[in-house]
Amino acid sequence: MTGEAGKAQEAFQDTVREAALRVARDEPPPDRLWYFRDARWRCIAVCEEGLQAEPGMLEEADISPVAPMQIAQLDPDQLGVWISAAPEPQRSALALFYLDEFTLREMIDLLEIKAPEFAALISSGRRQFQAWLDATTPYEEPFDASQI
């Protein structure tokens, strides 16, 4: 979420420290989502200290049937870098969505948004990612010499 391992580690450590303090005061976090919610807010706060993605409209494209092949050409870190550059709350929505660890209800609760807003964030993020894929990783059919 932060785009920098050091900042993410700082947010994670602060969250764990806060959880330990709560347990010591006999006020443990109420549920497992507390950890993610707290870490998310800490990441957002850390990111606000540095540069943020510029608001505005990114180019969008219809989801291509060759998108899986385009994604297969990417270095695995490229998706994370692209997501970390998205503006908040879209960055958090995409990160939670692609983690594939939470139910829809949990993601909406973590982000503190309504279902239609979540759907819009994911939909526009996927179309923006497709436009980026088309610009940076165009898919070319493998050459088949037998068709000559």
Dist CA 103 CA 91 (whole Å): 17
pLDDT band per the 50, 70, 90 thresholds, residue 1: low
The Cα 12–Cα 43 span in angstroms is: 8
Structural domain harbouring 39: 1-52
Interval 41-82: pLDDT, tens: 887 777 766 544 555 567 899 999 998 888 888 887 888 888
* pLDDT tens-digit readout, 79-99: 888 888 888 889 889 988 888
89 domain residue, yes or no: yes
Q: What's the mean pLDDT in 19-31?
A: 86
**What b/e readout covers 68-78, taking b as 16+ CB neighbours within 10 angstroms?**
eebbeeeeeee
Could you tell me if residue 145 is inside a domain? no
Task: Quote the DSSP letter at residue 59.
Answer: P
Same domain, yes or no: 35 and 80: no
Please check whether residues 48 and 90 belong to one and the same domain.
no
How far is Cα 35 from Cα 12, in angstroms, rounded to an integer?
9
Domains of the chain: total = 2
The whole-number average pLDDT for the span 116-130 is 93
Between 17 and 120, the higher pLDDT residue = 120
